[in-house]
Amino acid sequence: MQITIKNFMGVVLMCAAAVFTVFAQREVIQINDGWKFAVDKSAEGLAQQWYLRPLPGARLVNLPHTWNVEDDNQMHYGWGWYQKTIAVPAAWRSKNVVLEFRGVNHSSHIYINGRKAGENIGDGFNKFFIDLNGKLDHGRDNTITVAVNNDYGKDKIPFANSFDWPNDGGLIRPVSLIVTGKPFARYLHVTPTLDTAGGSGKLKIQLGLDPIVNKDPELSVAVTEENQQTENTVYSATALPSVQNGEATVEFNLAKVNPWHFDRPNLYRVDVTVRSNGKAVDRVSTNIGFRELKFINGKTYLNGERVKLMGVEWTAGSNPNFGFAEPEAEIIRHGKMMKDVNAIFSRVHFQQDDVFYDFCDRNGILVQEEIPLWGPETPASSTIEKMAHRQIELMIRNHYNHPSVIAWGVGNELNGRDPAMKRMIEGMIAKVRQLDPSRKVSYVSNTLTKGFAGEPGFTPDAGSLGDLLMMNEYGGSWWDIPVGEIGGFLDNVHRTYPDKPFFISEFGLCEPNFKGGDERRVEDMIYHMAVYESKPYVEGAIYFDLTDYRTHYPGTSENNKFRRRIHGVYYMYGNPKPSMKVLRELSSPVEIHSFSKEKDGKLSVLLFGSVGLPQHSVKGYSLYLSDRTDNFSNVKAYAIPNLEPGGRTRISVDDLFDGKGFVTVVRPTGYIATQKAIN
């Protein structure tokens, strides 16, 4: 669901307390500045009813905010309190008013004017909403108070301290007020279907309405090209939807659409206006993409094209300046770092902010989004199962429309061979399939190699329950085996589950646990990639991790906000290591093979389409010859003919630097695919 609406009218009203995005039907008010914050190290705030008065000892902060990057509070895992006063116009009496939190880690109680308005327990990363109808004092100032707790309690997911990322507490993502008429849209789900043969598309629009209406409303729908060369409106109509259980549904066909692909991430904006009794009462919008991902006989097809995928994972909260309270620019910066190492495939251990998925939509990264069930310490209890199902519901509802999201994940490295845990994983997978049959689902396993078909007492691993095998592989480090045995383990996994598409969901080298520095990281990366590329059944791999990342785990490094896993191809602040360019080159779909002089004095560049990881058609790529690595965009671009995996082509270029310089190949999205010095 994406009900935070862009300001299509271009009207932005600025005031000291808020930024307004205005529609006649929907008003989104950002309330991120000027919050009062008080840390509650003695855990006395609830007992003393801090929500009834101004917070004691408070100071001003802006959102997003976490106290765990502050010098005095780096190791505080407990209560923190936030408070803000807002003006509520009398005109809102007839309106619907909702408070939107894009992320509060990890449990929170929300109060309006000292009265409890709602809570969000054990879920630090999903966007959630608090209904303010009947809870506001109209025509006067109102006070919002939020009590936040990030202790290591067991009534949350991730369970207790069973996770390997920072435990940053606070209002870690933006907060806004959404003001609409009635009925209003609680969610907008748009399901695009692509006809790969004919190039046409279908759209199914599902709108959750609140309150449930007795008389069917009208829906005005417009579909417009979003990030494409043109901005044509390809559909516009007003229709009477079918309404069942508070959900309004309309479906229609589009004669011609441009598919979404990681190299050509074509988006369409869908605007829906809700009309009741002839009056527009709400308007919502989302971006979608037409794409088809299929697995056939264990092989991966995107829009009918045979592909193999390669990418990297980013662990949010890694920059010590921000922690989990990353501003939009910091999220986008890390997205660009992912693309700078040729990422077209990724996964996230926990739900990210909308900004991340929007970046992936626009820049071409296929993502598996997961709930943060992590680690063998997590029990298969009824409490955890109930919370997991709730997190799945919110995760899918919040991010249903993103074309970059191709799969939902229900956990990582749980005890996947325990019968009770397998039953819980199976139930979560069934829940995902019920809520979103249009996408894939998986559980990420580290126990697929603990038993193989044909062995005495063999039972399938929980990793086989989903639509694809996602296996974390750490031969030569966390796996206590020689690296020469990695290939045999992979063969046995494939032999045991031959019909499942097989992806490496993590591989990499973790310091300080395994010494050797970035030189060993490069050696480890090259060796593992060579093994994967020698296995025709390996459909993709994700390098772990993009950056060295902050964690709460003890014994890893400094005992403060700089405590980290040294696991990345970038340092914590985003400076590249030598391994960064190695990962970029290994992840390129194009190989620069060699150079030769032509009779007319020009330079011939021989290119191959990669047959390893990744593997896909190369279309719309450009080649440059420059005297430096950083100024290629200032020189002539040479179009590369379409190149299939295993194919070859020669590009004749002007030899401007007498057989020297650098050849750079650039993707259609503008990121470097590969770069090589001429000898």
Per-residue pLDDT of 493-540, as tens digits, reads 999 999 999 999 999 999 988 999 999 999 999 999 999 999 999 999
Is 643 in contact with 609 (CB distance < 8 Å)? yes
CA distance 675 to 305: 26
Q: For residue 5, name the pLDDT band (cuts at 50, 70, 90).
A: very low
Is 413 in contact with 366 (CB distance < 8 Å)? no
Using the predicted structure, report yes or no on whether residue 35 has a pLDDT greater than 90.
yes
H or E segment and range at residue 310: strand 309-312
Return the minimum-mean-pLDDT range out of 8-17, 166-175, 230-239, 397-406: 8-17
CA distance 459 to 446: 15
Using the predicted structure, report yes or no on whether residue 24 has a pLDDT greater than 60.
no
Is 506 in contact with 445 (CB distance < 8 Å)? no
Residue 304: CB atoms within 10 A of its CB come to 11
pLDDT digits (tens, 9 = 90+) for 343-357: 999 999 999 999 999
For residue 538, the model assigns a pLDDT of 98
For residue 368, the model assigns a pLDDT of 98
For residue 11, the model assigns a pLDDT of 27
Class of residue 107 by CB neighbours under 10 A (exposed 0-12, middle 13-18, buried 19+): buried
Return the minimum-mean-pLDDT range out of 205-219, 281-295, 319-333, 427-441: 205-219
For residues 65-73, average pLDDT: 98
Domains and CATH numbers, the chain: 12-180 (2.60.120.260), 184-291 (2.60.40.10), 308-586 (3.20.20.80), 590-677 (2.60.40)
- DSSP letter at 665? E
The secondary structure of the chain in percent helix, strand, coil, rounded to multiples of 5, reads 15, 35, 45
For residues 637-661, average pLDDT: 96
Q: For residue 477, name the pLDDT band (cuts at 50, 70, 90).
A: very high
For residue 347, the model assigns a pLDDT of 98
> How large a percentage of the chain has pLDDT more than 70?
96
Return the minimum-mean-pLDDT range out of 242-246, 421-425, 440-444: 242-246
- Per-position b or e across 231-241, b if 16+ CB within 10 A of its CB: eeebbeeeeeb
Return the minimum-mean-pLDDT range out of 244-248, 312-316, 395-399: 244-248
Cα–Cα distances in Å, from 413 out to 254, 286, 462?
42, 34, 10
CA distance 444 to 416: 9
Residue 669: CB atoms within 10 A of its CB come to 16
Which of 52, 55, 5, 8 lies closest to 27 in space, CA to CA?
5
The full DSSP string for 586-649 is: HT-SEEEEEEEE-TTS-EEEEEEE-SSSSB--B-S-EEEEESSSS-GGGS--EEPPPB-TT-EE
Say which residue the tokens 């200032």 belong to.
634
Q: For residue 214, name the pLDDT band (cuts at 50, 70, 90).
A: low
In this structure, what token pair is assigned to residue 48?
């003393």
Residue that wins the pLDDT comparison between 14 and 139: 139
For residue 17, the model assigns a pLDDT of 34
In this structure, what token pair is assigned to residue 27?
């008003």
Side chain identity at 585, as an amino acid letter? E
Using the predicted structure, report yes or no on whether residue 473 has a pLDDT greater than 80.
yes
- The size of the chain, in residues, is 679
pLDDT digits (tens, 9 = 90+) for 284-323: 999 999 999 999 999 999 999 999 999 999 999 999 999 9
Which of 148, 190, 188 lies closest to 170 in space, CA to CA?
148
For residue 296, the model assigns a pLDDT of 98
pLDDT digits (tens, 9 = 90+) for 656-669: 999 999 999 999 99
- DSSP letter at 68? G
Cα–Cα distances in Å, from 486 out to 342, 415, 503, 542?
25, 22, 14, 16
For residue 7, the model assigns a pLDDT of 34
Using the predicted structure, report yes or no on whether residue 38 has a pLDDT greater than 90.
yes
> What are phi and psi for residue 433, nearest 5 degrees?
-65, -35
Using the predicted structure, report yes or no on whether residue 22 has a pLDDT greater than 70.
no
Using the predicted structure, report yes or no on whether residue 80 has a pLDDT greater than 60.
yes
Using the predicted structure, report yes or no on whether residue 15 has a pLDDT greater than 50.
no
CA distance 148 to 111: 12
Say which residue the tokens 């057989």 belong to.
659
For residue 194, the model assigns a pLDDT of 98
H or E segment and range at residue 386: helix 382-399
Using the predicted structure, report yes or no on whether residue 25 has a pLDDT greater than 90.
no
- Per-position b or e across 588-612, b if 16+ CB within 10 A of its CB: bbbbbeebeeeeeeebebebbbbeb
Using the predicted structure, report yes or no on whether residue 360 has a pLDDT greater than 90.
yes
Q: Which residues contact 455 (CB under 8 A, 6 or more apart)?
A: none
Between CA 282 and CA 291, with CA 287 as vertex, the angle to 5 degrees is 140
Which of 399, 475, 383 lies closest to 432 in space, CA to CA?
399
CA distance 153 to 421: 20
Q: For residue 554, name the pLDDT band (cuts at 50, 70, 90).
A: confident
Using the predicted structure, report yes or no on whether residue 277 has a pLDDT greater than 80.
yes
Residue that wins the pLDDT comparison between 679 and 155: 155
Which of 83, 183, 196, 170 lies closest to 133 in space, CA to CA?
183
Residue that wins the pLDDT comparison between 76 and 599: 76
Using the predicted structure, report yes or no on whether residue 209 has a pLDDT greater than 70.
yes
Question: For the whole prediction, is pTM greater than 0.85?
Answer: yes
